[in-house]
Amino acid sequence: MNVAWAAQPAVVAAVASMVAAVGVAVAAVVGADEGLRPVAGVVAGAGVALLLGALLTGHSWLTGWALAGLVAAYACAVGGAGGALQLRAPLVGAALFLAGEAAFWSFDLRRAQGTAPGVVAVRIGYLAGVAALSVAGGVALLWIGTVDPGWGLTAEAAGVVAAAGVAVVAVSGARQSG
């Protein structure tokens, strides 16, 4: 299959980053209270615009600011929820992870002289796996947050297992990048 964009993994990574960022922006605006919706919209729009600017110009330093804007926009949605659990939070977290990782991968691919066969597929699999694990961990933590306090030791054990899982993923990610 000879698809023109398949030869441009940097462009595919940039598009994936933008799709994930727009998903976070939409979740922030839709989830915000009526009073906070305009603020969430402006902040989310600024985050998406910064990320687009970073990807178009190659200025990777803008990516952190773009992600911070998206996090602030989602904070508007969470803050207006009155302390209720946000069931979409694990998906938003995974989308933020994918937006950042895909953006930085796009920058890396621009500087690369070539990509060895199979490297792109392995990286996509790694990113999808980490995102899926983060969603699963987030769902588990949300479940623990809704458990009846009468579960006692069972809930404690589940919390310890979830925390250990988060630590394993964090250490694995640190080893991969270092």
Tell me the per-residue pLDDT of 93-109, one tens digit each, with 9 for 90 and over: 899 999 999 999 999 88
**How far is Cα 26 from Cα 79, in angstroms, rounded to an integer?**
16
Helices 37-57, 61-79: axis angle to 10 degrees equals: 160
Do 27 and 105 belong together in one domain? yes
Do 160 and 124 belong together in one domain? yes
**How far is Cα 24 from Cα 30, in angstroms, rounded to an integer?**
10
Do 98 and 153 belong together in one domain? no
- Choosing from 88, 115, 142, the residue where a domain stops is 115
Do 89 and 176 belong together in one domain? no
- 137 pLDDT band (50/70/90 cuts)? confident
Do 98 and 134 belong together in one domain? no
Domain boundaries, position 60 = 1-115
- 6 pLDDT band (50/70/90 cuts)? very low
Query: How many domains are there within the chain?
Result: 2
CA end-to-end span of the chain, whole Å? 35
Alpha carbons within 13 angstroms on the beta-carbon side of residue 48 total: 23
Residue-level pLDDT at 147? 65
- Choosing from 115, 142, 162, the residue where a domain stops is 115
CB under 8 Å, gap of 24 or more: what pairs does 110-116 form? 110/10, 110/58, 115/9
Do 104 and 159 belong together in one domain? no
Whether the pLDDT of residue 5 is over 60: the answer is no
Do 148 and 63 belong together in one domain? no
pTM, full prediction: 0.75
- Choosing from 115, 134, 157, the residue where a domain stops is 115
- Which residue is it, tokens 């969430």? 40
Whether the pLDDT of residue 1 is over 50: the answer is no
